[in-house]
């Protein structure tokens, strides 16, 4: 099967406008009848056919201006309805069709999940509900009538305002609700929910004094876990008013939690739909990290109301226009509410271990791709997180005030329209220069970031003139070739610099704009000393690049101790961790360096000088597996897995006393309510994990007890500490976690993930048991990701040298692809690193990819598998 390629260069405006749509949705026992009535206005004077998309729709009738359309006036394929000669004047097109949401396992369009019917239309799900152009540049006002059985579906929701609700005169067992959304929107923001849901309400008063009703809809029994999400929503609404001057624009805001959902959450206008794992939480049943994540996703979806909904995307190549910008906004929100430093470090670490990995592999693509086969495959960390980095660089280059002036102009100019990334960039630049200032960099060159894939490497060589006190940097940039892009042009790279002396920073921070293949930068008037001062570079991680610069251990230790930028400080520590771990992986442990780092860590613990325990925990965090693999000539996940463990165990012995001390101090704050106590709980997890690895039986016992304790953060920290160790405490801990949470599917997914990622000799057998477990729900993407994702992060089992792990994974993905292509095509990327492994592993993984390639696959999964196959 070949699927057509969609190209940015082929974009043409849709030749019709559809200012109004009326949808009539009648929910029956076995199907839903959809009648859509569209007001259509030809936008061109020339006659063109009217092309509508439609998937899995059973067409009943087509009526134009009240007269039925004869069958020879249109053609219908499995994906399109074409009216050959539509009227040249505005007309009403009424189409009746039926759909079957009860057997829809793809979780796109309308589908059933537990006791409800729910919709997912981004990116191209609306065509599974009714015939429609289903492209984001067609904006319409929607009026929706939903009719259903009143006992099975007491709650009927759609976008906008509720116009009326009541029982049907002709049948008192049925009722209807009519919704009207005054804001024109693209079809991907349409939403509909019908079901037996419980509602929890709250209110928010906007700056201009309007009261907004906040409604959270959950399954029966889940009401008690809603206050965190509602509080988060209120915080997000207040923050967007305060920081961006953007106020909510309707009288109500609904969030629905569903168990079966392909992604995290969806920003449908005034009717967000959330994966229930991103709604239901309190500190007993969710970790600190999960509470923060929920807060940020609730905010992310809320922020889309302006960056995504009021201003939407012209076409799907502009996806990062809404996603990159909205991620940047939610990152700033979390940073403002909590710790700027910790948030930035978490984001940098995540970028390195997911986006950098993607960008150096077969599915690497630009933030603005130029073509795709299945758009669902482009909801990637590149579009989201790298996209956010591009916005952040603009913010860094312009400063907060000028960036905000640009944002204001963007909103003013494009509100109510479907825009492009160029529209955004130009507005930002124009708004930032409204008072006649210079931009300070080349805007067209900056936009290369959108089109060039790959992570740029910045190489810095230093020359120190001790007599003159001048430090000269020879800086070159190079972006390695990526699929379809053999050579690259230089980018605009903001490089924030400072010099660190024995008492901290010397002079001011300097922002240098790199824009050449090679260029030289001088820092003058520095203390005239024999040794060059330490260099703090790419402070705050001012650009998403990898740095190549010789840094001595002394310099790293000095920065770790004294840099006033916490991100650069953390980075200095990461450099040392990486060096140590990679040396161990080469079986050439750098003992002197290990001793020095241990000493530095000891000082950090005992000096008590670190006021933020979360930041201290960041300094103790080892670099991720993905970034270490990337630094190896031949990636060896198994070896690295052992190396983490052996280093922890060595540190657990070496630092036993200070760690116990730290544990005692941290314990005092265990009971503090999130966000308080988070840092101490992180540090507890760290000390547990190191001490348990070192064989400390008391700690193991304490960890087992924590699994039954009042804090989910500590319970999970305990499980993580015990997991790599073959011991009875581990089995005991996993068992009591299961027993405690077996009736809560969202939490039980954690158990599935833990079980699947626990290294054991009968690992593959265990994976099979989990997939057959009575509580495993094969229709829930969360469960699939828990087991198969856990499996993929279980090196000894997944990477078994006989290839059994790969083969089993491929079989599972082929089966999942039949039911749910979106989930399968996202998971299939577990094979994307095959070329980086040693020959035997590489061949085994290659066989698994071939196995997939020769199966019957969805267009989504086919596209990813084809990219991963070797090019001939």
Applying CB under 5 A, which residues contact Zn ion? 323, 326
Catalytic residue among 122, 147, 292, 301: 301
Q: How far is the CB of 822 from Zn ion (least distance, A)?
A: 16
Closest CA to 564 of 521, 501, 493: 501
Nearest-angstrom CA–CA distance, 540 and 563: 11
Q: How many angstroms separate the CA atoms of 342 and 38, rounded?
A: 50
Instruction: Work out how close the CB of 171 gets to Zn ion at its nearest, in angstroms, rounded to a whole number.
Output: 40
Angle between helices 288-303 and 678-693 (to 10 degrees): 130
Please report how close the Cβ of residue 387 comes to Zn ion at its closest, in angstroms.
10
301 is catalytic: yes
In the complex with Zn ion, the residue whose CB is nearer, 263 or 746, is 263
* DSSP string over 769-792: HHHH-TT--TT-HHHHIIIIIHHH
- Do the bridges between strand 198-205 and strand 140-149 make them parallel or antiparallel, or are there none, so unpaired? unpaired
**In Å, how far from its chain's centre is CA 577?**
26
Q: Give the integer Cα–Cα distance in Å for 310 and 208.
A: 19
Measured from the CB atom, the residue of 326 and 331 that comes closer to Zn ion is: 326
Minimum CB–partner distance for residue 791 and Zn ion (Å): 28
What letter would DSSP give residue 45?
Answer: S
Closer CB to Zn ion, 326 or 355, in the complex: 326
Cβ–Cβ < 8 Å for 36, 130: yes
Helix (H, G, I), strand (E, B) or coil at 699: helix
* Sequence-distant (≥ 6) Cβ neighbours of residue 414 within 8 angstroms: 311, 423, 424, 427
- Computed on alpha carbons and rounded to an integer, the radius of gyration of the chain in Å comes to 28
Question: Minimal distance in Å, beta carbon 377 to Zn ion?
Answer: 16
The phi, psi pair for 523, rounded to 5°, reads -110, 115
Q: Which two tokens stand for residue 307?
A: 């960056």
Q: How far is the CB of 326 from Zn ion (least distance, A)?
A: 5
Nearer to Zn ion, 339 or 382 (CB): 382
Q: How many residues are listed for the chain in this entry?
A: 872
Tokens of 694: 């070192």
Q: Which is nearer to Zn ion, 298 or 722 (CB)?
A: 298
Q: How far is the CB of 300 from Zn ion (least distance, A)?
A: 6
Nearer to Zn ion, 387 or 544 (CB): 387
Contacts of residue 660, defined as CB under 8 A and 6 or more positions apart, other chains included, come to 687, 691
* Residue that the structure tokens 């005239």 belong to: 528
CB of 317 to Zn ion, least distance (A): 16
C-beta of 134 vs 323, nearer to Zn ion? 323
Question: Which C-beta is closer to Zn ion: that of 262 or that of 326?
Answer: 326
Looking at the Cβ atoms of 321 and 404, the one nearer to Zn ion is: 321
User: Can you read off the two tokens belonging to residue 108?
Assistant: 């796109």
Would you say the C-alpha torsion 279, 284, 289, 291 has a positive or negative sign?
positive
The two three-digit tokens of residue 247, written as one number: 């106020």
Distances (CA, A) of 130 to 75, 116, 168, 190, 339: 16, 20, 24, 12, 46
Q: In sequence order, what are the residues at sequence separation of 6 or more whose Cβ sits closer than 8 angstroms to the Cβ of residue 702?
A: 688, 718
| Other beta carbons within 10 Å of 337 | 18
Return the SS3 of 564: coil
SS3 843: helix
Least Å distance between CB 264 and Zn ion? 8
Q: Which residues are catalytic?
A: 301
């Amino acid at each position: 099967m070949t699927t057509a390629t969609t190209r940015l260069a082929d974009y043409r405006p849709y030749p019709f406008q559809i200012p109004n749509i009326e949808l009539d949705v009648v929910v029956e026992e076995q199907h839903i009848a959809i009648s859509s009535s569209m007001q259509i206005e030809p936008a061109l004077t020339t006659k063109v056919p009217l092309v509508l998309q439609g998937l899995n729709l059973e067409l009943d009738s087509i009526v134009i201006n009240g007269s039925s359309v004869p069958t020879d006036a249109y053609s219908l394929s499995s994906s399109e309805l074409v009216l050959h000669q539509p009227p040249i004047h505005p007309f009403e097109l009424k189409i009746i069709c039926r759909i079957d949401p009860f057997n829809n396992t793809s979780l796109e369009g309308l589908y059933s999940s537990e006791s409800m019917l729910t919709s997912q239309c981004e990116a191209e799900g609306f065509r599974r509900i009714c015939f429609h152009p289903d492209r984001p540049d067609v904006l319409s006002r929607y009026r929706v009538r939903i009719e259903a059985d009143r006992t099975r579906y007491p709650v009927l929701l759609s976008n906008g305002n509720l116009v009326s609700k009541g029982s049907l005169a002709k049948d008192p067992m049925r009722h209807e609700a009519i919704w009207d959304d005054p804001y024109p929107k693209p079809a991907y923001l349409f939403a509909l929910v019908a079901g037996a849901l419980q509602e929890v309400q709250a209110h928010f008063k906007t700056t201009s004094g309007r009261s907004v009703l906040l409604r959270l809809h959950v399954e029966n029994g889940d009401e008690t876990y809603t206050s965190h999400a509602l509080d988060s929503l209120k915080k997000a609404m207040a923050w967007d008013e305060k920081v961006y001057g953007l106020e909510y624009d309707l009288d109500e805001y609904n969030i629905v939690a569903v168990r079966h959902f392909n992604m995290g959450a969806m920003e449908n206008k005034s009717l967000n739909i959330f994966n229930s794992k991103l709604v239901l939480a309190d500190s007993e049943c969710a970790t600190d990290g999960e509470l923060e994540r929920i807060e940020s996703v609730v905010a992310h979806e809320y922020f889309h109301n302006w960056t995504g909904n009021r201003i939407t995307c012209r076409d799907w190549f502009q996806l990062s226009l809404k996603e990159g910008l909205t991620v940047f906004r939610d990152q700033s929100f979390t940073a403002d509410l909590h710790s700027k430093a910790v948030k930035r470090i978490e984001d940098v670490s995540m970028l390195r271990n997911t986006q950098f990995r993607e960008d150096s592999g077969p599915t690497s693509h630009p933030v603005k791709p130029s073509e795709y086969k299945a758009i669902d495959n482009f909801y990637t960390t590149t579009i989201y997180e790298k996209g956010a980095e591009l916005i952040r660089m603009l913010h860094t280059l312009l400063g907060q005030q000028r960036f905000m002036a640009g944002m204001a102009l963007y909103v003013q100019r494009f509100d109510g329209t479907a825009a492009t990334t160029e529209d955004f960039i130009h507005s930002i630049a124009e708004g930032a220069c409204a008072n006649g200032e210079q931009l300070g960099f080349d805007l067209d060159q900056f936009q290369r970031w959108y089109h060039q894939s790959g992570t740029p490497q910045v190489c810095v060589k230093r020359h120190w003139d001790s007599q003159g006190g001048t430090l000269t940097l020879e800086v070159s940039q190079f972006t390695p070739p990526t699929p379809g892009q053999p050579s690259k042009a230089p980018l605009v790279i903001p490089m924030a610099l400072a010099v660190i002396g024995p008492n901290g920073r010397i002079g001011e921070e300097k922002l240098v704009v790199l824009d050449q293949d090679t260029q030289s930068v001088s820092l003058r008037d520095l203390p005239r000393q024999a040794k060059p001062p330490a260099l703090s570079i790419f402070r705050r991680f001012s650009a998403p690049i990898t740095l190549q610069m010789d840094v001595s251990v002394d310099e790293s230790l000095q920065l770790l101790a004294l840099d006033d930028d916490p991100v650069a400080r953390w980075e200095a520590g990461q450099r040392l961790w990486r060096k140590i771990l990679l040396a161990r992986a080469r079986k050439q442990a750098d003992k002197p360096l290990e001793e020095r780092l241990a000493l530095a860590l000891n000082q950090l613990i005992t000096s008590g000088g670190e006021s933020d325990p979360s930041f201290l925990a960041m300094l103790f965090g080892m670099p991720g597996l993905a970034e270490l693999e990337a630094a190896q000539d031949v990636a060896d996940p198994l070896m690295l897995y052992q190396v983490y463990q052996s280093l922890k165990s060595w540190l657990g012995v070496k630092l036993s006393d200070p760690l116990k001390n730290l544990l005692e101090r941290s314990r005092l704050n265990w009971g503090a309510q999130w966000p308080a106590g988070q840092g101490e709980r992180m540090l507890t997890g760290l000390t547990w994990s190191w001490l348990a690895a070192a064989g400390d039986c008391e700690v193991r016992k304490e960890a087992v007890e924590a699994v039954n304790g009042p804090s989910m953060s500590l319970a999970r920290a305990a499980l993580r500490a015990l997991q790599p160790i073959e011991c009875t405490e581990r089995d005991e801990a996993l068992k009591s976690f299961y027993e405690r949470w077996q009736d809560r599917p969202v939490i039980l997914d954690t158990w599935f993930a833990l079980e699947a990622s626990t290294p054991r000799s009968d690992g593959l057998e265990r994976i099979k048991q989990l997939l057959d477990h009575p509580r495993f729900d094969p229709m829930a993407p969360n469960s699939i990701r828990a087991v198969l994702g856990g499996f993929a992060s279980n090196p000894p089992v997944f990477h078994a040298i006989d290839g059994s792990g790969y083969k089993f994974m491929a079989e599972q993905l082929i089966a999942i692809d039949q039911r749910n292509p979106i989930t399968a095509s996202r998971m299939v990327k577990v094979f994307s690193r095959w070329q980086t492994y040693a020959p035997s592993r590489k061949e085994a993984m290659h066989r698994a990819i071939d196995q997939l390639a020769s199966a019957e696959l969805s267009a989504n999964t086919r596209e990813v598998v084809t990219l991963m196959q070797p090019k001939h």
